[in-house]
Amino acid sequence: MTLARLLTSAIAAIFAGVIVGVEVINLASAHTHLQRQLESTAQDAATSLGLSLGALLRDGDPALAETIINPVFDRGHYERIEYLDARAQRAVLKELPAERGEYPHWFVRMVPLGSPTAESLVNAGWLQLGKVRVTVHPRFAYEQLWTSVRDTLVYLGALFLAALLALRFILRGLLRPLIAVEQAAQSISERRYVTLGVRPATRELARVVDAMNLLSRKVSETIDAEVRRAERLQELAFRDEVSGLPNARGFVTRFETLFETGEQHFRGTVALVELAELAALNAELGSERCNQLLRAVGGEVSAAAAARNGFAGRWSGARFIAALPGADGKDAGILLEEARGRIRLALGEFGREAHDAIHCAAAASGQRGAGLQELVEAAEERLQQAREHPAGVVVLSGAQPQGGAADPTAAVLEALGAGRVSLVGQPALRMSDHRLLHTEIFARLRDAQDREMVAAQFVPVIGARGMSEALDRAVIDTVMARLKSLQGEWNGAVSVNLSVRSLGSRGFVAWLAAQLAADRPLAARMVFEIAEHGAVQAEAHLLDFARAVRGAGAAVALDHFGAHQQSLALMQHVRPAYVKLAAAHTAAIMADSGARFYAESLVRAARQLDIPVIAQSVEDDERFRAISPIGFAGYQGNLGGRPSPWPPA
């Protein structure tokens, strides 16, 4: 019950009690007064008739007696008038038939009025002629009493309604600030630190609002400070201060998050660009001018990578690295030649036109795809050749498919169309006691020979064909069907990875919300994980998706977290159920103090928002011991269990 309803009910009950009390007192007083008035009327009429009959009735003539009685009886106030002669014989009798006046019958039963009877002797001098007996009719008393009660009740009822209406307006104005305080308290409990713009007129509420605003500001400032600290540590740990590009750790983290743990797998070229004889340039230009030159070179490499929707970083010293998705060896050669030319122009601006020690090398993954380490090693081998090559550019084309190797596209599409989806799960465990937090579900397709296809085989095909939504629907249908079949046997929570492409589909979001809303207990056990790099690209779609899913009873989380500069801002906007730190960060914690400080700061900032942070790729006890003091809520990796068929047999 709301405070307004409670106050209204209490005041209404008090007012109703007052009305009832006033009515009871008024009714009792009027009843007593009218009863006495009836008795007095009966006695007055009897006395008056006795005197009149004694003065006029000398010989006891009944006709004359009736003539005297009739005018009195005809007034209608009397139920019965009778005259008894000296022998006690009835000489005159006048009676009014019982009839009800303008009042309800139940009122007579509730408030009974007596019909008083009075007597008076009829005397002529010392001679007693008889006596007269008068009984009063209570009809008019009832009418008067009913009218009084009814009018009083109507007046008090109208006053009561007017008072309630006035109370409503008064409470609306009085409680509006309190409602705002309630909403602000709810927002603070959800870690949304708002301030109130209202200023109550009452002193007590004004103090509450001031205290609430002060609390909200202080907590918000604390969180902002933690977020800025984490962002600064991320900047120091993963970004090169001189060039402004990601450093080697930052480049590796972004590459692995995008292409080795997400729904895409890298097909393209990794390139290295080296500005040789850096020590000589530093001696000639000075450290400040040399840093400016490195920023210019890094900018050219980054621009070349951006032309292919890629990204670049500073690998070490004067060596820069670029990921060029979709670029083959020929494309990479052209891009590197152009970049080399622009770098030479930049050297000219620093007065070093003759400096031609710019070496470029690249390794293409080919159709089979390749990991970053493999590509970097190949590119470094070719970089040595580039130092001796006249053009300064050497590119290693990727390995082509073996002769006769089948194109996986047809097999993938056939498996998806046939609905041959199998599921494997890996547990995420609590740090403190290793209890299950949830099980992350991974999809696998099976070909016509019932052989399992891993994600690296089918995800690129499905992404290229725009069939990510179809895969997500198939996985969700399978997961929900198996959860329903396991009720009572296994009641844990599950997380399902979704493609960012599905988030932008209104049809998919509406379908998923309807599926979840149809079984809310089951929906409460489901979390949908979105990879951070996709969430950054489609934040508006993610926010709409999160509102729809939460409204249906499920939750949303962020996976592979911490690779982007916007990570912490995204966390504040989305308010996920939890975040999973990118695997590259977990590995770096063991060897790098900067990565460790960043993880600690991230955990503190997330804790202020009541968002648990889960470490990924915790593969052994050594890594678990390394991350334990940081404050992670949970961990996931081979230490807690390798991916295995789900649900377990």
Q: Reply yes or no on whether the pLDDT at 99 is more than 70.
A: no
Q: What is the DSSP letter of 74?
A: T
Query: Residue 281 has what pLDDT?
Result: 82
Q: Reply yes or no on whether the pLDDT at 210 is more than 70.
A: yes
408-645 belongs to CATH 3.90.470.20: no
By mean pLDDT, which of 100-104, 276-280, 393-397 is the weakest? 393-397
* Average pLDDT of the residues in 387-398: 72
CA–CA separation, 466 and 631 (whole Å): 40
Of all residues in the chain, the percent with pLDDT exceeding 70 is 92
Q: Reply yes or no on whether the pLDDT at 352 is more than 90.
A: no
Q: Which CATH number fits domain 248-396: 3.30.70.270, 3.65.10.10, 3.30.70.870, 3.40.50.300?
A: 3.30.70.270
What would the pLDDT profile of 325-347 be if each residue is shown by its tens digit? 888 888 888 888 888 888 888 88
Query: Residue 252 has what pLDDT?
Result: 85
CA–CA separation, 29 and 51 (whole Å): 33
* Average pLDDT of the residues in 349-369: 77
Q: Reply yes or no on whether the pLDDT at 228 is more than 90.
A: no
By mean pLDDT, which of 82-86, 403-407, 619-623 is the weakest? 403-407
Note the pTM of the prediction, 2 decimals.
0.64
What would the pLDDT profile of 136-178 be if each residue is shown by its tens digit? 888 888 888 888 888 988 998 898 889 888 888 887 777 777 7
Of all residues in the chain, the percent with pLDDT exceeding 90 is 22
* 398 band by pLDDT with thresholds 50, 70 and 90: low
CB neighbours (10 Å) of residue 199? 10
Nearest alpha carbon to residue 274 among 312, 335, 315: 315
CA–CA separation, 423 and 643 (whole Å): 10
**CATH code reported for the domain at 3-161:** 3.30.110.200
Cβ neighbours of residue 626 under 8 Å, at least 6 residues apart?
Answer: 589, 590
Query: Would you put residue 282 in left (φ > 0), alpha (ψ -120 to 50) or beta?
Result: alpha
Sheet holding 117-124, edge to edge: 90-95, 78-85, 127-136, 117-124
Average pLDDT, the chain: 84
Query: Residue 534 has what pLDDT?
Result: 82
Please name every residue paired with 431 in a beta bridge, in sequence order, or none if there are none.
none
* 100 band by pLDDT with thresholds 50, 70 and 90: low
Question: Do the Cβ atoms of 510 and 549 come closer than 8 Å?
Answer: no
What would the pLDDT profile of 445-480 be if each residue is shown by its tens digit? 888 888 888 676 777 677 777 888 888 999 999 999
CA–CA separation, 79 and 116 (whole Å): 10
Query: Residue 453 has what pLDDT?
Result: 80
* 367 band by pLDDT with thresholds 50, 70 and 90: low
Q: Reply yes or no on whether the pLDDT at 627 is more than 90.
A: yes
Question: Do the Cβ atoms of 45 and 80 come closer than 8 Å?
Answer: no
Exposure string of 511-523, with b = 16+ CB inside 10 Å and e = fewer, is ebbebbeebeebb
CB pairs under 8 A, 24+ apart, for 276-280? 276/318, 276/357, 276/358, 276/359, 276/387, 277/355, 277/357, 278/317, 278/318
Question: Do the Cβ atoms of 171 and 4 come closer than 8 Å?
Answer: yes
Beta strands at 634-636 and 90-95: parallel, antiparallel or unpaired: unpaired
Query: Residue 494 has what pLDDT?
Result: 95
Q: Where do the H-state alpha helices sit in 239-328?
A: 248-255, 278-285, 287-306
* Average pLDDT of the residues in 38-44: 89
Q: Which helix (H) or strand (E) holds 259?
A: none
Both tokens assigned to 301: 């490499």
* 405 band by pLDDT with thresholds 50, 70 and 90: very low
CA–CA separation, 466 and 463 (whole Å): 5
E strand segments, 433-582: 436-446, 452-453, 494-498, 526-531, 555-561, 579-581
Higher pLDDT pick, 347 / 257: 347
What would the pLDDT profile of 506-546 be if each residue is shown by its tens digit? 999 999 999 999 999 999 999 999 988 888 888 899 999 99
The domain locations on the chain are 3-161, 248-396, 408-645
Query: Residue 365 has what pLDDT?
Result: 81
Q: Reply yes or no on whether the pLDDT at 625 is more than 80.
A: yes
